[in-house]
Amino acid sequence: MFHPGSHTGAGVETGRTNVANRLSDLEIPDEVTLLLENTAGTGTTIGKQFEGIDSIVEQSEYDYSQVGVCLDTCHLLAAGYDLAAGDGLDEMIAELDASIGVENVQYLHLNDSKHPVGSEKDEHKHIGEGEIGDEGFERFINHDRLCDKPMVVETPENEKGGEWNIQEVKELRNEQ
Ligand SMILES: [Zn+2]
């Protein structure tokens, strides 16, 4: 799994093409899948929008059988996908279907966001203690298009630690 990186001034389109070309240079073994992680969009980072991630895969010599996507909840919120709102989640799913395809999301990073929707700032908080909140996570992890995907907490190590956050996710999780 990797973040796509930054275009450092070359422009978003050029940045996407550069990442796609570097992907094509790799010889990914058949049994390996690389996952592109969506980003918060800080500075000149690319991979903030789904259509951008989709365009990287499209331009590379690979397809979604060997390059998948990891969605990070803090990065989603910071990038402008309003997971704290019910219609925000629905809009996100619709945008995914129009680009990457929900089926090509293979992994989920769960972490709350210290900064509000659209802030483009990447600072993780404990589950439920940031701008996404318990209700936002409850909707996200139980959504029928997302609930079967592997989820990993990627919360801060200070104060509470991973165990507390895993317990919090379990409490928000509906019986399957
Ligand atoms: Zn992450």
Q: How many CB atoms lie within 10 A of CB 157?
A: 7
How confident is the model over 26-49, as a mean pLDDT?
A: 96
Instruction: State the pLDDT at residue 175.
Output: 79
**Distance (Å) from CA 109 to ligand 1 centroid:** 5
Residue 47 scores a pLDDT above 70: yes
CA–CA gap between residue 6 and residue 108 (Å, rounded):
22
Q: What CATH number matches the domain at 32-172, 3.50.50.60, 3.30.930.10, 3.20.20.150, 3.40.47.10?
A: 3.20.20.150
Task: Say which residue the tokens 């210290």 belong to.
Answer: 114
Give me the residue spans of the domains in the chain.
Answer: 32-172
Instruction: State the pLDDT at residue 176.
Output: 63
Considering only CA atoms, which of 94, 33, 98, 96 is closest in space to residue 67? 33
Structure tokens at 44: 């000149």
pLDDT in tens, 99-134: 999 999 999 999 999 999 999 999 999 999 999 999
**Distance (Å) from CA 36 to ligand 1 centroid:** 10
